[in-house]
Structure 1
C-alpha cells in the first residue's frame, strides 16, 4: 500500500487537471456539475495526499533519502530532459496543505459564487490553479518546477482578472503577471546557468555534485546563480521591491485571494528556496541577504497594513509581512522554522481571507472596515472564526501562530540580534493591526445595512480552518515538525521560555492598545494619525512605491520607447526608404524598355551587337598602333 501511494503520487496533481479539462471543455455551462467535478477531484487529491504522507512516515523516507521516480520527457542527441516525482516529508507536507486548503476554498466558493454567470469558468480556473501548485510540489528538477511555476502565474492572471469587465481587475491581472515575469526571468537565467555549469538541473544530482564543485571552484559562480534563482521567489512571494502586485490581487473573488495568499502562489517562492536550500546554504553571504530582505519585507508590510482601511488589503499586506518572516527564517538558517510557519500560516490566512469574503458578502461587497461595525451578533460564526484567525496570526498561545512564530524568533535571536529586534517589533505591529481590524468590524458602531445570508457552504470551511488554526501549531510542536522538515541533522522542537513569554505578552499589549483606541475610544485614532504626521501619510500611501513605479515607467520606459521610435522611423526607416526608392526608380526606368514587342527587342539586340563590334574594332586598332609605334614589327 505504501509503495502504491508513493508511485502513484502523480495522480494528486492530475485529478484537478482532469477537472479543469472536463469543466473547461464540456461542463462549464452547468454550474452545479462544474462545482461537483472540481470538489470531487480536489477531495480525491486530498485523500491521495494523506496516503502519500502516511507512506512517507511509515517507510522512513526523509529529506536525505527521498522517493524519486523519473521518466524521459524529451531527447535530442546527448541532451535529454526528465519529468519526475520527488517525494519526501517536505513535498508531502505541501501536498497536504495545498490539497486541503484548495478543497475547503472550493467548497466555500459554492456559496460565495452562487448566481455568478461565470460559475463554471471559475471552478475550471481554480482547478488548474490547484493542479499547477501540486505539480510544482512534486517536481524532481528545476525545469519541471519552472513549467508549473509559470502555470501558477498564468492561473493567477486568469483569476485575479476573473471579472475582466472591470478595468481595475484587468489592470491588476496585468500588473501581477508582468511583475512576476521580472522575477521569473531571473529564475530562468539561473536555471540555464545551472544546466551550463553542472550539466543537470535535477535536485538530487545537484546536491551530490555541489560539494566537489565548491572544493574545486569556490562559490563565486554559485553566488551569481543563487541570486538569479532568488529573484523568482522575490516576485512570486511578494518580497520587496516586487511586492506591488500582491495587494492589487484583491480584485479577484475572495476565494481566489485565500488560495493565492494562503497555500499556492505566494508560498511557491518559499518552497523553491526550501527545496534548493542545499544550494543557498552553500553561500553564507546569500543567506544573510535573504535574512535581511525578509526582515525588511516583514516590517515593511506590517507598517503599511497598520494604516489601511480595506479589509482584504490589510490582509494582503499582512501576507507580505508573514512571507518576509518565512524568508527571514530561511536566511538565518532555519528551514524548519520557515516551513513550520508556512504550514500554520496556510490555515489561519486562508481562514482570515474567507472570513473577510464572508463579511464583504454579507455587507454587499463593502470593503472599508470603518463602514462596518457591530457585526459580532449578526454573523456570529464569522465573528468567532475570524477571532480565532486573528489570535493565531498574532501569536497568542495556544493558537498555531504562537508556536511557529516562536521558532522564527528563536532562530533569529541565535544568529542575528538586529534581525530579531525587527522581528519582535513586527510581531507587535501584526497583533495591533489585526486587533484593529477585528475590533472595528465586529465591535464598532452598529451598521444599519441589511446583511446578506451566509450559506452553510461558506460557514463549514470557516469552522474547519478555525480548528486547524487552533491545533496545527501545537500538533506540529508535539509531533516534532523539525524531525521531518529540516536541513541537515534533525532539529528537535524546543521552546525558549523567555521568547515564549515575550511572544505571549506582545499581542496582549497590542490588543489592549487597539481596544482603548477603537472600542473604548480612550484615545482618538484620528488624533494619533495626525500626530504621526508624515509617517502616517507615507504608510497610508504605501510609501508611494506604486507612484514611483508609475513615474519610472513614464520617464524611463516611455523614454526608451520614444528613442526606439525615432530610431525605427527616422534612421532604420530612412535607410529602408532610400533603398526602396532606388529600387523603385530603377525598376521604373527598366520598365519603360520592357514593352513586350519582339521587333524592339531584336533592334535592341542588333544595336548591342553593333556597339560591341565597334568597341572591339577600336580596341584592336589601339593595340595595333601601340605595337607599331614601339618598333616591334
Structure 2
C-alpha cells in the first residue's frame, strides 16, 4: 500500500466511523461500537505501517488561492509526526476497547463512541498536518471534541460547567496562538511547516530576533491553554467530570499533549528564541511544583492524576526549554503510556466501587482487584520515576538537560517536583493497597462476576507492558528524531534515585502505617492552601469573573434602559402623535371647511397687515 493511501486511511478511517455512527446507528449502539472500534484499529494499523516505512516526502494538495497566497492541505511524515501518530492511535484504540465495558449501561453509547472517533480524527489530522493553518484548524476541532466529551453527561450541572470552563480557558490561549499564526503569514507569506523550519530560508534566518520572540511567545500562549500550564491550568482538574476513559484519552497522549507536541513540531523556532525559552522554563517550573502540591492533598483519585498530568507536562516543557528535544519527546511518549494506564486502572476501581475517594476505595477492598492493583503499581512507579520503569529513564534525561542548559535553580526545582511526585503517587498507592481498615462492600448486581471484564482488562495489560518497557526505547526515539544521545552512568542516576526513594519513604511513613494523616496536617495553613488550589480559582472569580459580571451588567443596563429605552420612548411618542392626528382626521366635511376658512382668513390678515 502506497504512502498516500496509508495516510488517508489512517486519518479518515476515524472520520468515517464518526459519520456512520452519528448519522445511521443511533438505534444500534452495539453496531456503533463495532464500527468505531474497527475504524480505530484501521487508524492504528495505518499509523504503525507509516512509522515502519520511515519518513517520507510531505504530501501537499492545493486548498485554495487568495491573491498571491496559496493555502495547502496535506500531511507531514517525518520522524516526530510518525512516532506521535502511533502513540495517539494506540492510546485511542485502548480507550475505545476499554469503553465497551465501562460504558456498557450508558443509554447514549452511540453518541459517546461517535465523539471518540471524531476526536481521534481531529487529533491525528493535527499531528500529521503539513500546514500551520491546517494545524490550527484541527487544533480547534480537538478543543471542540474535548468540550463535547468532558460535558458528555451534560445532565449533571458540574459536567456542563466543567466543559464550559475547559472550552473558555483554552480559547484564551487560542487567541494568542491565532495571532502568532497570522504573524507568521505576515512575515513569511505562507504556512508551510517544512518551509518555516528550513535552516536556510526559514523564519529563523529571515526574522529579527524581536519578531521571532514575539511569534514564539504568542504560540506559547496557546500551548499554555491547551497543555494546562500556569496560570491557565485550573480547567484540567474540573474536566474529570467526564467519563474516566475520556480522562485517559484527553489527559495522557492527546489533547493536553497537543501543546507540547506543537512546541516540539516548531522546535527550531523556539530553540532560536532564547527569551521565549527562558519564559517557558519559568512557567513550566512553576506549573510542575504548583500542581504537585495540589496532588499531595486531594482524595479524588482522578483529580490526583489530573494534577500529576499538569505537573508532568511542565516537566516536558522544562526539557524542551532547556534545549533537549529528545528529553521532552521521550517523556511525552512514556507519560502517554503510564498516565493512560493509571486513568484506566482508576476507572476499574470507580466502576466497581462507585466512588472516586482514595480512602474509600482502599477500605472497600481495592487491592482485591488484582489487575487494577498491578496496573496501579506499574503506572504509579513509572510516574514516580522508580527504576527500571519507563518514567525513570525519561525523567533522568530531563534532569540531565536541565543540568546542561537550565541552570542550578531549575535543576533543584525539578528534583523538588520529582520528590513531591514520588510522595503523592505512593500516597495514592498506599491509600488503595494498605487501608487502615476494611469495610464491607456489596457490588451492584451489574458488576457481579465481571469486576474486570476482558474489554477493560486487555487495554490495562497492553499499557502495563508499554509503561514497563518504554524506558528502553530511548535509542529508537532518538534515532527517529535524528538526534544523538549519551548514556548515563549509575553515578549520574543516583541523585534521581535518591529523590524518588525519599518521596516513597515519606509516603510510607505518612500513609503506609500510623494514623495516615500526612505531615501536612501538622501545617494547617499549607494544608488549606494546597487543598484550595492556592486559591487561584477564587482569585479568578473575584477579579475576572466579577469584573466581567459588572461590565455585563453595565452594558445590559445601557442597552435596556438606554438604547432600547430611548427607542421605546421614541416609538411611544410617534404613537402619541399618530393618535392625536387621528383625532384631527374626523371625516366631518363641516370641520374641514371651517378649518379652511380659518387658515385662509389668517393668511389674508397677515397679507393685509403688510406681512
Q: Does 1:69 align with 2:69?
A: no
1:366 paired residue among 336, 346, 355: 355
CA distance in 1, matches of 2:265, 2:545: 39
Per-residue CA deviation, residues 347-369 of structure 1 (Å, 9 max, x unaligned), is 00000000000011121x21111
2:556 paired residue among 553, 565, 568: 565
Q: Does 1:482 align with 2:473?
A: no
CA distance in 2, matches of 1:86, 1:613: 93
The DSSP-based 3-state class of the residue aligned with 1:239 is: coil
- Higher deviation after alignment, 21-30 or 75-84: 75-84
Superposition deviation, residue 607 in structure 1: 11
Contact 2:84 2:127 in 1 (8 A): yes
Contact 1:5 1:48 in 2 (8 A): no
CA distance in 1, matches of 2:94, 2:302: 19
CA distance in 2, matches of 1:414, 1:493: 13
1:168 paired residue among 144, 158, 180: 158
Unpaired runs of 5+ residues, structure 1, are 623-633
1:50 paired residue among 23, 48, 51: 48
- Higher deviation after alignment, 147-156 or 563-572: 563-572
CA distance in 1, matches of 2:223, 2:372: 33
Superposition deviation, residue 77 in structure 1: 4.1
Superposition deviation, residue 497 in structure 1: 4.1
Superposition deviation, residue 89 in structure 1: 0.6
Other-structure match for 2:12: 14
Q: Does 1:137 align with 2:133?
A: no
Q: Does 1:433 align with 2:429?
A: no
Other-structure match for 1:260: 250
| CA RMSD across the alignment | 2.8
The DSSP-based 3-state class of the residue aligned with 1:262 is: coil
CA distance in 1, matches of 2:204, 2:340: 41
Contact 2:9 2:42 in 1 (8 A): no
Unpaired runs of 5+ residues, structure 2, are none
Judged with a 3 Å threshold, the aligned counterparts in structure 2 of structure 1 residues 533 and 193 are, in CA distance, closer, same or farther, namely same
Other-structure match for 1:626: none
Judged with a 3 Å threshold, the aligned counterparts in structure 2 of structure 1 residues 54 and 595 are, in CA distance, closer, same or farther, namely farther
Q: Does 1:284 align with 2:274?
A: yes
Other-structure match for 1:627: none
Contact 1:372 1:446 in 2 (8 A): no
Contact 1:10 1:85 in 2 (8 A): no
Question: When the two structures are superposed, what TM-score results if normalisation uses the length of structure 1?
Answer: 0.88
- Higher deviation after alignment, 450-459 or 45-54: 450-459
Q: Does 1:181 align with 2:171?
A: yes
Contact 1:396 1:503 in 2 (8 A): no
CA distance in 2, matches of 1:497, 1:606: 119
CA distance in 1, matches of 2:85, 2:280: 25
2:510 paired residue among 499, 503, 517: 517
Contact 1:341 1:404 in 2 (8 A): yes
Judged with a 3 Å threshold, the aligned counterparts in structure 2 of structure 1 residues 465 and 567 are, in CA distance, closer, same or farther, namely same
Other-structure match for 1:471: 469
The DSSP-based 3-state class of the residue aligned with 1:450 is: coil
Judged with a 3 Å threshold, the aligned counterparts in structure 2 of structure 1 residues 595 and 222 are, in CA distance, closer, same or farther, namely farther
Contact 1:6 1:67 in 2 (8 A): no
Other-structure match for 1:631: none
CA distance in 2, matches of 1:384, 1:279: 42
Judged with a 3 Å threshold, the aligned counterparts in structure 2 of structure 1 residues 418 and 597 are, in CA distance, closer, same or farther, namely farther
Per-residue CA deviation, residues 438-472 of structure 1 (Å, 9 max, x unaligned), is 11101213232134422011111111100000111
User: Larger radius of gyration, structure 1 or 2?
Assistant: 1
Contact 1:6 1:87 in 2 (8 A): no
Superposition deviation, residue 406 in structure 1: 0.7
Other-structure match for 1:539: 530
- Higher deviation after alignment, 223-232 or 201-210: 201-210
Judged with a 3 Å threshold, the aligned counterparts in structure 2 of structure 1 residues 527 and 407 are, in CA distance, closer, same or farther, namely closer
The DSSP-based 3-state class of the residue aligned with 1:10 is: helix
Contact 1:132 1:151 in 2 (8 A): yes
Judged with a 3 Å threshold, the aligned counterparts in structure 2 of structure 1 residues 614 and 357 are, in CA distance, closer, same or farther, namely same
Q: Does 1:155 align with 2:145?
A: yes
Other-structure match for 2:114: 124
CA distance in 1, matches of 2:83, 2:492: 27
The DSSP-based 3-state class of the residue aligned with 2:130 is: coil
Question: When the two structures are superposed, what TM-score results if normalisation uses the length of structure 2?
Answer: 0.92
CA distance in 1, matches of 2:491, 2:348: 38
1:409 paired residue among 377, 395, 399: 399
